[in-house]
Amino acid sequence: MAGESAAAHTVAAAPAPAPAPAPAPAPGESRRPAVHTERISLGYGDRRVVDELSLDIPPGRITVIVGPNACGKSTLLRGMARLLRPTAGAACLDGKSIHSLSSREVAQQLGILPQSPSAPEGITVTDLVGRGRSPHQGWFGRWTDADEQAVADAMRATGTLDLADRSVDELSGGQRQRVWIAMALAQRTGVLLLDEPTTFLDLTHQVEVLDLLADLNRTEATTIVAVLHDLNLACRYADHLVVLSEGRLVAEGAPREVVTEELVRDVFALPSRVIDDPVSATPLIVPIGRHHGSANRAGTAAGTAAADSVAAAPADTPADAAADTPAEAALDVAAAIPPTGAGSAAVSGVASGAVVRSETELREVVDEPVPLIADKAAPAIDDESRRFLEAAPLLMLASAADDGSVDVSPRGDEDGSVIVLDERTVAFADRQGNRRVDSMLNILRNPRVAMLFLVPGIDHALRINGTATIVRDGELLDRLALKGSPPELAVVVTVSELFVHCGRAFGRSKVWDPEAWPDQGSLPTAGTLLKAHTALRDALRDAERYGS
């Protein structure tokens, strides 16, 4: 299903813009080999992370790969650098599969700076940068003047000459990253791959590192491929932007052609405005937070903070971002749906006078609860509740995104739906399902969740309200292992309130009474339902497209 949504918005592989006339390479410079992948599939063990991806890296340009966490961007880079053997397809260097070349041949043409590389304790800057020369030396090679020149060039280009004698341990994060880039430069390759070179750097140092890469690209015409997590910086520095989602290519091309509000919403699950960067005229993504976007727009039709800043932008920046793009129209529709709790527009089939619009109106119908019930929330899990929770094999997890959309989904395990870690904390596994991960996406955007715990045959239920965190590492996953295999993810919920739901709804619905259960055959199967939904979706889309 996720695949479908990705496919729907695939920008047909935009032809790479004709490379700008690159400056003639300095004499003695290494050539720029062509890099591309052919239906490359990459993964770890049985888990496939990148799926039949074909990509041409424009030579002499800066290509930036972006995508949400765990979309396979680093994996793709590792595949292109020969660090990871593909399960199918190939990464190619000058048309030859990179795995048919020796590692030394590759290292002479293509450099890789892995994500957070580790320097041995006590190493000096000169020593570390010098190690970049090793692909050119071989087992018996000696240190030559050319090596020394390459090291000095690399250190000059990165501004690390002043650090020559220093120990890498004592450098700042930005300095250290420059030293690592210097090491990669000393390798003198025509292609340089960098995996999140700006991680853990403050904004100043991020810009500093990226400027350095841009310099290098301009002066040496080095082909640069970088994985970045900051979309705005990616847009600013990339000649060619590659957007990945769930191991597939969603879009590629110049940032201006690729980055739209729909793309950001579909790929990053982030409602946003895309405006022109007032400095570089590249796309600038302004996220709409939970507290800003829809609330503001509900008040004023036009003005958002983002739009204001566009208006304040210099006149020479193109103003078309302020115009109503289809994306913006879609956002308006979304914004028209009120956030929870606010009043409601017309509801089909209900006269407007019959609608309850405020708490006062509500209380006219429903009396205040007695104090015992009003205060029935408990702040933590007592021993009795714990017994109930541990007996509940099924829970309903409710989550809400920052844009007000909500989700409720069932979770269950044979040994109980949750484990109680302590009085304030429960945890449950996120077993592999259909990969839509709606609840998980909601939690990322808004950690508040509610969980309703059900025990078969028992009419009352417990509810926990709390704050969820998604965990992907550690012993907790082993504790949640099912038949020896730990889940990929777990959700830890810090309890803020605990309620008892009385059993009347269960009693009335006779849900636990086998006598009242319907005949299995009389109801649609999950497959039938899915089919029906698809048909409905298609009909609606056709209606929109052809104005039925």
Partner 1 sequence: MTPSTPATAATAPAPPANRATSGDVARVSRARRRERSRAIVVTAGLAAAVTAVLLAALAVGDFRIGIPDLLARLVGQQVGELQPRIDYVLFDLRLPRAVTGLLVGVAFGLAGSLFQRLLRNPLASPDVLGISAGASAAAVLAIVAFGASGFAVSAGAFTGAVAASALIYALAWQRGISGYRLVLIGIGVNAALLSAVSFLMTRADMTDAQQALLWRTGSLYDSSWDEVAALLGCLVVLVPTALLLARALPRLQLGDDSARGLGLPVERTRLALLLVATGLIGVGTAAAGPVAFVAFLSGPIASRLLGGARPGTVPAALVGALVTLSSDFVAQHLFGDQQFPVGVVTGAVGAPYLLWLLAKSNRAGRGE
Partner 2 sequence: MRKPLGIGACLAVAAVLSLAVGTKDIPVTTVFDALTAFDPGQVDHLIVTERRVPRTLAGLLVGAALGLAGTLIQGVTRNPLADPGIFGVNAGAALFVVVGIAVFGVTSLTGYVWFGFAGAATASAVVYVIGSLGRGGASPLKLALTGAALTAALSSLQSAVLLTDPATHDRFRFWQVGTLAGRDPEIVEQALPFLAAGIVGALLLGKVLNGLSLGDDVARSFGQNTTTDRVCCGLAVVVLAGAATALAGPITFLGLAVPHLARMVAGPDYRRILPLSMLIGPVLLVLADVLGRVVARPGEVQAGVVTALLGAPVLVVLVRRRKLARL
Candidates 20, 26, 88, 347: give the one binding partner 1 (CB under 8 A).
26
Which CB, 82 or 240, lies closer to partner 1?
82
Q: Does 314 bind partner 1 (CB under 8 A)?
A: yes
Closer residue to partner 2, CB minimum distance, 50 or 419: 419
Give the burial class of 280: count Cβ atoms within 10 A of its Cβ; 0-12 exposed, 13-18 middle, 19 or more buried.
middle
Contacted by 125, from partner 2, partner 1, none: CB < 5 to 8 Å by type? partner 1
What is the spatial distance between Cα 242 and Cα 147, in angstroms, rounded to a whole number? 35
Tokens representing residue 159 in the block: 């501004």
Q: Which of 16, 322, 356, 420 binds partner 2 (CB under 8 A)?
A: 420
Residue 507 in contact with partner 1, rule: CB under 8 A: no
394-426 burial, b at 16+ Cβ within 10 Å, e below that, comes to: bbbbbbbbbbbeebebebebeebbbbbeeeebb
Who's near 395: CB < 8 A, 6+ residues apart?
410, 411, 412, 417, 418, 428, 451, 452, 453, 454
Per CB under 8 A, the list member of 170, 202, 215, 478 interacting with partner 1 is 215
Among partner 2, partner 1, none, partner that 102 touches (CB below 5 to 8 angstroms by kind): partner 1
Tokens of 107: 């290292």
Q: Of the listed pieces 85-93, 278-286, 346-354, 471-479, which binds partner 2 according to CB under 8 A?
A: 471-479
Q: Which of 22, 34, 70, 152 binds partner 1 (CB under 8 A)?
A: 152
**Among candidate residues 414, 395, 426, the one with its CA nearest the CA of residue 490:** 426
Binding region for partner 2 (CB under 8 A) out of 116-124, 313-321, 343-351, 416-424: 416-424
- Contact yes or no for 53/39 (Cβ under 8 A): yes
Q: Does 70 bind partner 2 (CB under 8 A)?
A: no
Q: Is 421 in the site for partner 2 (CB under 8 A)?
A: yes
Q: Which is nearer to partner 2, 197 or 416 (CB)?
A: 416
Beta bridge partners of 44: 47
Please tell me the distance from the alpha carbon of residue 101 to that of residue 80, in angstroms, as a whole number. 13
Residue 500 forms beta bridges with which residues?
462
Q: Exposed, middle or buried by CB within 10 Å (0-12, 13-18, 19+), for 460?
A: middle
Least Cα distance to 181 among 251, 129, 105 occurs for 129
Question: In the sheet that 96-97 helps form, which strands lie side by side, from edge to edge?
Answer: 47-57, 35-44, 88-93, 96-97
Binding to partner 1 by residue 313, rule CB under 8 A? yes
- Please say whether the beta carbons of 185 and 132 come within 8 A: yes
111 touches which of partner 2, partner 1, none (CB within 5 to 8 A by kind)? partner 1
Sign of the four-CA dihedral 341, 342, 347, 353: positive
Our finding on whether 490 is near partner 2 (CB under 8 A) is no
* Residues near partner 2 (CB under 8 A), total: 13
d(Cα 176, Cα 489) in Å, to the nearest integer? 33
Q: Tell me the two tokens of residue 534.
A: 């698809």
192/489 with CB nearer partner 2? 489
Q: Name the binder of 280 from partner 2, partner 1, none, CB < 5-8 A by kind.
A: partner 1
Count, residues near partner 1 per rule CB under 8 A: 65
User: Residue 475 interacts with partner 2 (CB under 8 A)?
Assistant: yes
Q: How far is the CB of 79 from partner 2 (least distance, A)?
A: 22
Which residues inside 264-303 make contact with partner 1, applying CB under 8 A? Answer: 278-280
Q: Can residue 229 be called a binding residue for partner 1 (CB under 8 A)?
A: no
Token pair, residue 474, equals 């550690």
Distance from CA of residue 70 to its chain's centroid? 7
479 binds, among partner 1, partner 2, none (CB under 5 to 8 A by kind): partner 2
Q: Which does 225 bind (CB under 5 to 8 A by kind): partner 2, partner 1, none?
A: none
Largest CA distance in the chain: 91
User: Which sign, positive or negative, has the C-alpha torsion 73, 79, 82, 84?
Assistant: positive
Name which of 221 and 464 has its Cβ closer to partner 1. Answer: 221
Amino acid at 256: R
Kind and range of the H or E run holding 406: strand 406-412
- Contact between 233 and 65 under an 8 Å Cβ cutoff? The reply is no
Q: Is 486 in the site for partner 2 (CB under 8 A)?
A: yes
Which entry of partner 2, partner 1, none binds 16, CB below 5 to 8 A by partner kind? none
201 binds partner 1 (CB under 8 A): no
Piece of the chain touching partner 1 by CB under 8 A; list 89-97, 261-269, 307-315, 350-358? 307-315
Tell me: does residue 214 bind partner 2 (CB under 8 A).
no
- The 169-208 contact track toward partner 2, x by CB under 8 A, reads ----------------------------------------
Point out which residues bind partner 2 (CB under 8 A): 419-422, 425, 473-479, 486
Point out which residues bind partner 1 (CB under 8 A): 26, 45, 78, 81-83, 102-108, 111-114, 117-128, 130-132, 134-135, 139-140, 148-149, 151-153, 155-157, 159, 161, 164-165, 167, 184, 187, 211, 215-216, 218-220, 278-280, 309, 312-314, 316
